[in-house]
A and B are shown apart, each in its own frame.
Chain A
């Protein structure tokens, strides 16, 4: 227990790195995933095909393999970043974007058929239909699964710890090496920091879901 208190600064550093990784990747994944989601429901076949291919490839690839690509393979292809933080953000974003895309797509598909038909009937164009009618409604259904995706992202950011980023899991490895006698308290401390993020976010997702459940 004393070890945990003594090492609090290191814990804090790991925690902020985990948060930074998660938030940065979440923003990028949200943007890229929404664009891909729009591709998947667009009337343009090539873009639809591109979105589908991306999602199917990434969803069936383990995150560790994506990390291997950006950390070990990319330098062979001519990309040599200075530290390991940026490749980690890129790997997490690329991976999470596929899941965001799926959430956005199922959200759009969950909007009633009549909504799009009605907007066509009053003469809205396709972009107008999407922007004014479908997306605002889709957004409500998409929020709870999105929160769940970001919870998963928080947990997934631990993979970065295996690829030279000193976030919470990296700190766990460092501390268990330094304090072999206090392994269990040290790891429980790390677990607590993760749970501080994941459990409240899970409760929030459940709450939002109940709030919007009556919408349809």
Chain B
């Protein structure tokens, strides 16, 4: 992987690497063992505790538990994320176009708005939507996600347009296309394609941020975990946490793989190549911020 830093090893280095590998393995296994023992001392491996997912107590069926997590919980998470993603993308395109405007009176206010939205915590925006605007909880969550992410999407798209070779717009103007035609038929489609990996990683961030709804009381996946522990007892927190984390990681991992796949495919097809998702932060386009 990172073979750039060291040579193909000779026998002595191989022995040394072997030694360090063993030490490293002992270190990692030691950490895992400590975690295991701590959990064991609290009876967290007790099969009875895990039966909460196959044969739960208090007259509930396994179906009840899973449907509350997957259908109600994950469903609510995905619904908010889906609606927010569509709205944020649409608004993001609009903001990107406005920010590229030649008219200063349009460009400057847009820049200020984008900087403003990007600099605020999403949870504060959600809270604002619910408390100050008086939106229902669901739309408050969507509001926070849209306001923040449309600014990020706008910056990603703008970075994509800026990174296109100048020849693209010059050729379009030479053909007699107007500024608007150039932007919408030549530059934006290429920018979207180029920044697709960054856009997808931002979608992962958006999906993760849906969990902030937990704080303002939206009944998404994490809230369902908490409701379940309130019903069955606090002693099941670890079990529900493991399952909740597994659900999130599965969904996000799938989306992240999609980003990597798009990156690979795009590098082959797109003329200007596709920017790596990570490069949004590293290469001259840090305007997009980091997907954290």
Contact = CB atoms under 8 A, between A and B. Distances in A.
Contacts of A64: 211-212, 214-215, 222
B21 A45 contact: yes
A205 B289 CA distance: 10
Contact of B208 (A63, A72, A183): A63
Interface in A64-121: 64-65, 68-69, 72-73, 76-78, 96, 99, 102-103, 106-110, 113, 116-117, 120
B238 interface: yes
A130 B132 CA distance: 53
Interface residues of A, number: 78
A106 B24 contact: no
Q: Main secondary structure on chain B at its contact with chain A?
A: helix
Contacts of A103: 281-282, 290
A77 B234 CA distance: 11
A62 B209 contact: yes
Interface stretch (B55-63, B66-74, B113-121, B156-164): B113-121
A41 B5 contact: yes
A176 to B, nearest CB: 5
A194 interface: yes
Contacts of B214: 64, 68, 162
Contacts of A120: 6-7
B122 interface: yes
A43 B6 contact: yes
B282 A126 contact: no
Q: Which of B124, B208, B234 has the most CB of A within 10 A?
A: B124
Given A99-B292, A145-B282, A187 B124 contact: yes
Contacts of B101: none
Contacts of B234: 72, 76
B123 A183 contact: no
Interface in B72-128: 115-116, 118-124, 127-128
A6 B184 CA distance: 50
A195 to B, nearest CB: 5
Contact of B5 (A62, A63, A134, A141): A134
Contact of B222 (A65, A152, A183, A209): A65
Interface residues of B, number: 67
Nearest to A78: B42
A109 B2 contact: yes
A61 B222 contact: no
Contacts of B292: 96, 99, 148-149, 152-153, 156
B169 interface: no
Given A148-B286, A158-B124, A48 B1 contact: yes
Interface string A182-205: 011001001100110011001001
Contacts of B4: 109, 113, 116-117
A57 interface: yes
B275 interface: no
Q: Which of B5, B234, B284, B290 has the most CB of A within 10 A?
A: B5
Contacts of B127: 169, 172-173, 176, 187
Given A64-B212, A116-B4, A209-B284, A176 B131 contact: yes
A116 B131 CA distance: 56
Contacts of A152: 289-290, 292
Interface in A147-186: 148-149, 151-153, 155-159, 161-163, 169, 172-173, 176, 183-184
A188 B281 CA distance: 29
B270 interface: no
A76 B237 contact: yes
B168 interface: no
Contacts of A148: 281, 286, 289-290, 292
A50 interface: yes
B29 to A, nearest CB: 9
A184 B124 CA distance: 12
A162 B119 contact: no
A47 B121 CA distance: 34
A155 B116 CA distance: 13
B25 interface: yes
Interface string B141-184: 00000000000000000000000000000000000000000000
A215 interface: no
**Which 3 residue pairs across A and B have the least CB separation, nearest first?**
A162-B215, A152-B292, A158-B121
25 contacts: A44-B21, A45-B24, A46-B27, A46-B28, A47-B20, A49-B28, A61-B245, A62-B208, A62-B248, A63-B211, A72-B229, A72-B241, A76-B235, A108-B5, A109-B4, A113-B4, A117-B4, A149-B292, A151-B289, A159-B123, A161-B123, A176-B131, A191-B120, A195-B120, A206-B286
